[in-house]
Amino acid sequence: MKSVSIIAAAAVMLASSVSAASNDPRECEVCMKVMQDVRDAIPKADQTNKPAIEAALGAQCAKDTLSARERKICYYIDPIKRDVAHPFSLGMPVDRLCKRINKSNSEICGVKFPVKTENLEKKDLTKLRVKQLKSILVDRGVECKGCVEKEEFIAMVQNTEHLAGSDEF
C-alpha cells in the first residue's frame, strides 16, 4: 500500500518536474544547488566578501564528491567566478543568482539533474505526456528516432534508464 502511494507521488512529482513550458521549475536547479552549498560553506562574516566567495566556489568545485551535473556547472562557472562573486556578495537568493549568471553563460540554467524513472511502473509512465517523455530522453542525451506512438517513447524511456545517472558530460 505504502509503495503504491510512493510511486503515485513520484509520478506526480515527475509529471510536474518535467512539465515543459518556459516556466520549468527545474531550470537552473543544478546551479542553485551548487550556489546553496557554497553559501552554506561560507561563514556569515564572509558572505559579502568577494575573495572569500571566489575561494569557496573553488573549494566546492574541487570536491570529488560532486555529481556529474554539478561538475558541469563548475566547469561553466570557473571562468566567470568574478561575475558570480559580485551578485553572490549582494546576498541574492540562489534562484535569482543563477538566472543572473545564466546571462554570462546561457548553458547554466539548462543543466538539470537527470530524471530517474526506474521506480516507476509502466502505467505511471503512461500518464505522462509525449512531450514529457521526450524531455526525459533529452535529459539523457538520447533521441527516439522515428518514434511516433507514445508506446515507443515509453519503451525508449524504459530502455535508457541506465543513462539517467550517467556520468557523461
In the complex, the residues that contact ligand NAG under the rule CB under 6 A are 27-28, 99, 102, 106, 109
Burial label for 6, CB within 10 Å (0-12, 13-18, 19+), is: exposed
Nearer to ligand NAG, 28 or 42 (CB): 28
Smallest gap from residue 31 Cβ to ligand NAG (A):
9
Nearer to ligand NAG, 94 or 144 (CB): 94
Smallest gap from residue 35 Cβ to ligand NAG (A):
14
> Amino acid identity of 105?
N
Smallest gap from residue 28 Cβ to ligand NAG (A):
5
Residue, CB closest to ligand NAG: 106
Q: Which of 51, 29, 53 is nearest to 39 (CA)?
A: 53
Nearer to ligand NAG, 109 or 137 (CB): 109
Residue 65 sits at φ, ψ, to 5 deg, of: -100, 5
Smallest gap from residue 46 Cβ to ligand NAG (A):
28
Residues 39/53, Cβ–Cβ less than 8 Å: no
> Amino acid identity of 6?
I
